[in-house]
Structure 1
Amino acid sequence: MKETGKVVKAIDKTLKKKSSFADTCKKVSKMSLYLMAFLLPILFLPWTANVLDFNKQALLIFLVFISVFAWLLNVLISGRVKINLGLVHIPVGVLLLVYLVSTIFSSWRHGSFWGWPLVTSESLITVICLVLLYILVVNIFEKKEIFHFLSFMVFSAGLACFYGILQLFGLYLIPIGFTRAQSFNTLGSVNILGITAAVLLPLTIMMIIALKKKLYRILFGIAALIFTITLLALNFYIAWWLVIAGAALIFAFGMQRRDLFDNRWLILPMFFLAIGLMFAFFRFSIPGMPQMPVEFFLRQAPTLKISTKALQENPVIGTGPGTFSYVFAKHKDISFNQSDLWNTGFTWGSSKALTVLATVGALGALAFVVLLAVFLFYGTLFLFKKKETDDYMFNWSLGLGVFISFMVLSISYFLYSSNLTLDFIYFALIASFIALIYSEKKEFELKPSSLITLIFTFGITVTFVFGLGLFILEGQRYVSSVNYLSGISLWQKGETDLSLMKLERAVSISPGIDLYWRELAQAYLNNINIVANKQDLTIDERRQAVQASINRAVNAGKVSSDTNPASVENWSARGFVYQSMIGTVGGTKDWAVEAYKEAAKLAPSNPIHPTQAGISILSHVALLGEDASQERSELLEEAANFFRKAIELKTDYAPAHFQLARVYLAQGRQDEMVLSLENAKQAAPFDVGLAFQLGLVYFQKQDYVKAAAELERAVVLNPNYANALYFLGLTYYELGEKNMAIALFERILELNPGHEVATRILENMKTGKRALAGISEPETPIVPIEEIEE
């Protein structure tokens, strides 16, 4: 009997240990979600290129899978699992499936899966983690814990808004370079800051109404006050319309359920409704509020047009999650070239809805609409269903706040873009609401010999392996991003060797990221001149170092476009690398032209790429001998056609006009050359090099009046421009303005003491001789104006 008692005690002790460990796993799972809700809105880290969403995504991946692992361990140890089953979960699964299929057929699968350097919030891995978040919340949280989860999220967003307000007023609590900007906050853009405040305001109001504890009411009251100040400071019209929608919905449901609602509390939504209407309609500014940073975003009409064109090419599953920048470059209207933002790329459309339509196709848009419709249907049933329980009033009020905040965020998806924080809030609200209205869970017992246990164990194993693999890959991505930013920073400080080492490490860790290869190619290209001028190397060593940098630059440029052929930036950078090698490496002229042609296919309305293709040809023409007149003539006409194409795309594109003038000069077509330069002048009136060049042309044509006008313009733009002063002095001399000419050459000698030619000319003019007596006539140089790079 004693032995039996010992065995029983041992078994009991073992069971208690198992139970204790299982409870610990359950707590870890829940604490991970609480931590996520609090940290994600306020997190930013300075050691990666993308300080916000890239780090938030890393946090999301880490904490979601920690929570999943802990939950699964709890299930394995306890031998029991409670699952929230129901048809209401199907739309979430369908959305994930659509994103999976769209990613598989994406124009760049790596970017669509991981996000950065594409849009992080739209990536498949982000959607996977948000769906896992949904599964965890609806399965492991009780109703009271939902309140705690939402409270962490609201308070964190309140802190983020408070920090954003301080930034707007120039009070930089964390002055570390990039944070010393009025527009910086931990949520995203300043407009996203306003939208977040508008989205969470209804939930905060309902918390104030429903809670009985004074401390909670004070805390949520402070949060509501911060959200209100944020809205007033930003004065963003879309945010005000969202406030109107949220306040109107609270008022409508409050009037409908007067049996639950104390009508005295309706003053809160009525107040915000009045404030929202006033600011939305009258658009006035509050005295004392800071000037808002300018934020550029696409309007609805051009986005709809672009999305429609993209939908015609990829109607079902789109171009892939996060690829709107490629869609924009390919389908933007040529009229964009007449605006100041003609060379600006946009990673988002005017709204999340239209962006999803273009990138995830009709199926993606339909999946979101179905999710919204199902949520609206079940939410309406819950809010109008009467149920007598002790905590019904609190659950109904909390559910109403969650429901209205979700509806406001859904409306914002049709009016503005999104980011990872807003998408996190979106899924957190869905999961919380479903957990509130469908709290009953079905329990399964995992018996050792049952089929369901085998299936569940297999699923757990796959999840563990998949999650562990993601942990490793995400860790590699993070380390490579840190090395990339470090390499760029070191390059800016002039530490070339260390910079190249960091960039090389970045591409070795994450070879699938095209941005790293593209930047590495540019670094190798810039390094050519550096190693060529190193005096501590012998001539042979310098030659070998230069050749090595050339080979590496060409290889890195090629790998970038091979890694992601859908990126116009990769082809443009590859073309520039080849263009820089013309005259050094054989065949690079043709390679450069072909690369720019590929870039032009991906961005057909951009004038830069045909212009650069033409410049590549002119660089090759300059190397031809006198016996290649036929080839020179053909190549000049080919270059001219590229420049004419660029001018068709953007009539005021100065570089194309100027380069076309170079062609006409080489062809001996003087009148057409002057016309092209005049056109370039109209497009770039403040370009000093162009003013100088045009003045020289008129000087050579002996039209001294026009030459003086252009050279005077060049001197006004740059008073110390010695070459312009030189030719302007000669022009004044030809116009009979001898004293003015002498004054200019005296000025030249002040800038260039002892200049032999200027001294001789000045002596000639003072002694009454011809200015250029004994001096050869100056040639007309071609001074290229600055080319605009993408």
Structure 2
Amino acid sequence: MGMFSFFSKEKDYKGVASMGVGEEIEISVNQNEEPLWGVIARWSVYLIALLTPLWFLPITDNPVDGNKMFLVSLLTLIGFIAWLATTVHMGTFRIPRFTSLYALGVWLVVYLLAALFSVSLETSLWGMSAVSFFHILISGILAFLVSVALRTVNHVRTVYMLILVSAGIVSLFLLVQSILGIDIFSWEFTKARTFNPVGQWNTVGIFLGFVLVSLFSFLTGSIHKSRLKRLSFMILLLLVFMGTVVVNYRMVWLSIAIVSIVYLAYIYSHASGHARAQYVMGPLLFLFVSIVFFLSQDIVNLFGSSLNPPLDVTPSVSSSWRVAEQVFRERPILGVGPNEFGYAWDRFKDPTVNTTVYWRLRFDTASSFATTLLTTTGLLGALAFLLFVGSFLWSGLLLLGKLQLENKEHQYISALFFGILFLISSWFFYPLTVITSVFAFLLLGLFVAEVHIAGILPYRVFAIRGDSTKGFLIALISVFLMVVCVVGLYIRSQKQVAAIQYGRGVEALLVRSSVNEAELFFQQAVALDSSRDEYYNAITQTSSIKLQRVLENTGGQSPKDVQDSFEAALSSAVGSAQKATEVNPGNAASWRLLGQVYEMVIPYATGAAEAAAGAYKQAITQAPTDPLLRDDVARVYMVLGDYVKAREALEEAIRLKSDYAAAHFRLAQIAIIKGNVEDAISNTERTMLFVPNDIGVLFQLGLLYYQQKRYDDAGLVFERTTQLNENYSNARYFLGLTYAAKGAGALAIEQFERIQTLNPDNAEVRAILENLRAGREPLAGITPPPLTRVGPPVSKEGKELQQEDTLEKDQPTGEGVKKNEE
């Protein structure tokens, strides 16, 4: 911390505080007389400032954000308990007289109401997300804790220095890992060049951007420091700037430009002549640079293309508004509940998203935190949020008018204000993350503490006297809050241990392929935290693997042993799947998984087909615009022999997604089974006259031609299909078979090589290529024939993105979806 000593300044706290109605006392606190509880509270804040950007652990399924949330929760609650103990010890209870903190309290109350009336209470209250009520509450407590636990100038300076230290370390990490390509850690998930301890790639840019704008106030002041201090400042500034350039997030540059303009307005209103010229040079330079980078994204990205930054995709603003509008019609006051945007997305997703490669993704957030709040906390929550933001902006801008540029304390106040302004602005263009939440509220607390130390903001201080009713009530409330914090700390710790066990189960299943070990860990996770449907779904998947193995490996076992094993695995799979739907009934994925379990045992269990169809229908109720679910229920109807209902479901799937290969594939199968191929061909040909560029119709027609061995016609149609969509893997599959049937082996190999590029993990494509290169029939040794299977031969169309599941790593722009450009 020595290199940042130019930010340090010692000063004891001394102030006048109100003891009650009309009663004033003067209190003086010396750092050496601070009780142990006060030291613990202060050091909790120090550790949060330093460790939050750097902290991650490879022990859960969410090693970065998940473990950051636990660390901040742990330290905040410990610090708050320590502060409460300090108030009892010292006999005074201090509350800042700052309007924004009161507005924050109002917002937290509304946020709690939205959680209590949520579509899923547990998910909204305790969800493992930065937007759940518990974690928003922790951020609010952190803001209050910082404002009351830091009593001297030195305390505030230390926190700010620790933030700068962490920013410098993060910037160095980016340069070493991302630019030089040197792996700093040995864990597999840390070996990507864009891995960082902060979190999402764009979040790194936001974090470093806020540090940059907070340094504006010190650009001129550093000139008057010693050479070593100036050098330290310039090194830090250069490191943070280079880190921001490495990330190169367009919206960060825009925000830097906007904050620069506001800062320049502040300078012009407070300085004149030579002083004005001196103070505006730095911000003007950053304004110019940020505009250049904002306008030169494509050029800059050419140099960073080798980093292959992860795709960061959210719904577009229009899609987010559409979902909010639909929610307003049903739940206008408090929305669907915090952390429940995914539920609203499933129910009200814009159907145009189905035309993009992102159609299988379930978004858990809208285009930004602000637009997410419209859906999750309703009109009341949005107004309370705007009240909090507006009150801070109003109070902050009024405060700026009272500051003096040359005053050191006032420079810190302006630095903190512009840092908060930058972080709050990110809430309007990017989803809330652990970093943007924690540091926005941490800086808010620092801002309040600094304004008070500067003598601008008074605190209200209540005396805890044994002979007064007010003192008794304050003491009682303090003890009650301690108990609540201890309970909250216990519950959060228990959920963290459950997350660790779940992570161990995922590792056992994916790395060691140990199903029994994985299931044991998942069961332990459920025992510790029964509120997360993904834990139950994990048990369902391991039980389904066991069930599949029982059905495939019956040799050497007595019929009774096979039956017992079958019943045990089926009972576990169905029971855990049903429990998942009870824990979170709004999650269509859980209902679909239940349907898949029933579908697996249709040949062996009476009534399984009807149960599967029922589960799929419930999933459709939760996600009515998902064509995948229509295909699921159609598949069951085909097993039941109800081809009329199957066709209706498939036609609805095609209405939702016209190029949906699976639905067209199954419609062709139905025509073949019913012996109506010629009629189907005639109807499809007539349809093609009206929509000649509909690749779904073309694909279906090609399949029918192929089944009738009309290879010339099939080849023409499949060629047209692949011209319209080069990544249509199933069309290329049948085009390759068509070429092979016509004796054009080289062309067939070309098609399957392209499929292999798009689907490198497809074993059947590799086998077909081996057959073709050896001069054999393409499907030699491959059964059953493609047109008699349950689904199309290639499950993923090219670069199409699937919802990433922890246990299924089969691994997103178009209308309705926004890509957050790096």
Same-fold status (TM-score > 0.5): yes
Counterpart Cα distance in 2 of 1:523 and 1:370: 48
Q: Which residue, 108, 112, 118 being the options, matches 1:96?
A: 108
**TM-score (ref. length: structure 1):** 0.82
Match of 2:664 in 1: 657
Kept in 2, the 8 Å contact 1:208–1:221? The answer is: no
Q: 1:154 to 1:358 in 2, by over 3 A?
A: farther
Moved more, 203-212 or 550-559: 203-212
Q: Which residue, 497, 504, 517 being the options, matches 1:486?
A: 504
How far off its partner does 1:233 sit?
Answer: 2.3
Please list the CA deviations of residues 484-511 of structure 1 after superposition, one character each: whole Å capped at 9, or x if unmatched. Answer: 1221222223212111111121112211
Counterpart Cα distance in 2 of 1:175 and 1:577: 38
Moved more, 277-286 or 656-665: 277-286
Please list the CA deviations of residues 287-327 of structure 1 after superposition, one character each: whole Å capped at 9, or x if unmatched. Answer: 74444524323322222222222223222111111211222
Match of 1:771 in 2: none
Question: SS where residue 438 of structure 1 aligns?
Answer: helix
Counterpart Cα distance in 1 of 2:185 and 2:744: 58
Match of 1:181 in 2: 192
Counterpart Cα distance in 1 of 2:492 and 2:341: 24
1:463 paired with 2:481, answer yes
How far off its partner does 1:465 sit?
Answer: 2.0
Match of 2:764 in 1: none
1:27 paired with 2:39, answer yes
Match of 2:352 in 1: 335
Counterpart Cα distance in 1 of 2:299 and 2:178: 15
Counterpart Cα distance in 2 of 1:393 and 1:711: 74
How far off its partner does 1:172 sit?
Answer: 2.2
Match of 1:51 in 2: 63
1:593 paired with 2:593, answer no
1:666 paired with 2:673, answer yes
Question: SS where residue 190 of structure 2 aligns?
Answer: coil
Counterpart Cα distance in 2 of 1:562 and 1:181: 38
Match of 1:168 in 2: 178
**Aligned letter for 1:273?**
L
Counterpart Cα distance in 1 of 2:175 and 2:163: 18
Q: 1:382 to 1:711 in 2, by over 3 A?
A: closer
Match of 2:90 in 1: 78
Question: SS where residue 462 of structure 2 aligns?
Answer: strand
Match of 1:9 in 2: none
Q: Please list, as runs of the form range in 1=range in 2, the aligned pairs for 1:687-706 lying within 5 A after superposition.
A: 697-699=707-709, 703=710, 705-706=712-713
Question: SS where residue 82 of structure 1 aligns?
Answer: strand
Match of 1:452 in 2: 470
**Aligned letter for 1:344?**
L
Q: Which residue, 164, 169, 177 being the options, matches 1:159?
A: 169
Counterpart Cα distance in 2 of 1:729 and 1:620: 39
Counterpart Cα distance in 1 of 2:89 and 2:772: 92
Q: 1:603 to 1:220 in 2, by over 3 A?
A: farther
1:350 paired with 2:350, answer no
Match of 1:475 in 2: 493
**TM-score (ref. length: structure 2):** 0.79
1:319 paired with 2:336, answer yes
How far off its partner does 1:461 sit?
Answer: 2.5
Match of 1:398 in 2: 412
**Aligned letter for 2:94?**
K
Match of 1:381 in 2: 398
Kept in 2, the 8 Å contact 1:726–1:748? The answer is: no
Q: 1:114 to 1:245 in 2, by over 3 A?
A: same
Q: 1:710 to 1:22 in 2, by over 3 A?
A: same
Please list the CA deviations of residues 321-375 of structure 1 after superposition, one character each: whole Å capped at 9, or x if unmatched. Answer: 1211222222221111111212122222222111111111112221221112211
How far off its partner does 1:381 sit?
Answer: 2.2
Counterpart Cα distance in 2 of 1:594 and 1:77: 62
Kept in 1, the 8 Å contact 2:730–2:792? The answer is: no
**Aligned letter for 1:61?**
S
Q: 1:659 to 1:433 in 2, by over 3 A?
A: same
Match of 2:205 in 1: 194
Q: 1:525 to 1:780 in 2, by over 3 A?
A: closer
How far off its partner does 1:239 sit?
Answer: 1.1
Counterpart Cα distance in 2 of 1:311 and 1:470: 32
Question: SS where residue 122 of structure 1 aligns?
Answer: coil
Counterpart Cα distance in 1 of 2:668 and 2:321: 39
How far off its partner does 1:258 sit?
Answer: 1.7
Match of 1:643 in 2: 650
Kept in 1, the 8 Å contact 2:175–2:243? The answer is: yes
Kept in 1, the 8 Å contact 2:324–2:375? The answer is: yes
Question: SS where residue 297 of structure 1 aligns?
Answer: strand
Kept in 1, the 8 Å contact 2:659–2:697? The answer is: no
Match of 1:527 in 2: 546
How far off its partner does 1:133 sit?
Answer: 0.9
Counterpart Cα distance in 2 of 1:488 and 1:746: 40
Kept in 2, the 8 Å contact 1:693–1:783? The answer is: no
Match of 2:239 in 1: 226
How far off its partner does 1:657 sit?
Answer: 1.1
How far off its partner does 1:708 sit?
Answer: 8.2
1:426 paired with 2:433, answer no
Moved more, 497-506 or 294-303: 294-303
Moved more, 707-716 or 394-403: 707-716
Counterpart Cα distance in 2 of 1:105 and 1:137: 31
Please list the CA deviations of residues 731-752 of structure 1 after superposition, one character each: whole Å capped at 9, or x if unmatched. Answer: 9xxxxxxxxxxx9999449997
Counterpart Cα distance in 2 of 1:363 and 1:571: 31
**Aligned letter for 1:199?**
F
Q: Which residue, 519, 534, 540 being the options, matches 1:515?
A: 534
Counterpart Cα distance in 1 of 2:294 and 2:786: 64
Q: What are structure 1's unaligned runs of at least 5 residues?
A: 1-18, 622-634, 732-742, 756-777
Question: SS where residue 48 of structure 2 aligns?
Answer: helix
Instruction: Choose between structure 1 and 2 for higher RCO, CA contacts under 8 A separated by at least 6 residues.
Output: 2
How far off its partner does 1:238 sit?
Answer: 1.0
Q: Which residue, 230, 236, 260 being the options, matches 1:247?
A: 260
Kept in 2, the 8 Å contact 1:202–1:250? The answer is: no
**Aligned letter for 1:179?**
T
Kept in 2, the 8 Å contact 1:592–1:616? The answer is: yes
**Aligned letter for 1:490?**
A
Q: 1:92 to 1:392 in 2, by over 3 A?
A: farther
**Aligned letter for 2:500?**
V
Q: 1:648 to 1:675 in 2, by over 3 A?
A: farther
Moved more, 404-413 or 45-54: 404-413
Match of 1:123 in 2: 132
How far off its partner does 1:45 sit?
Answer: 1.1
Match of 2:217 in 1: 206
Match of 1:412 in 2: 426
Q: 1:415 to 1:355 in 2, by over 3 A?
A: same
Counterpart Cα distance in 2 of 1:483 and 1:534: 32
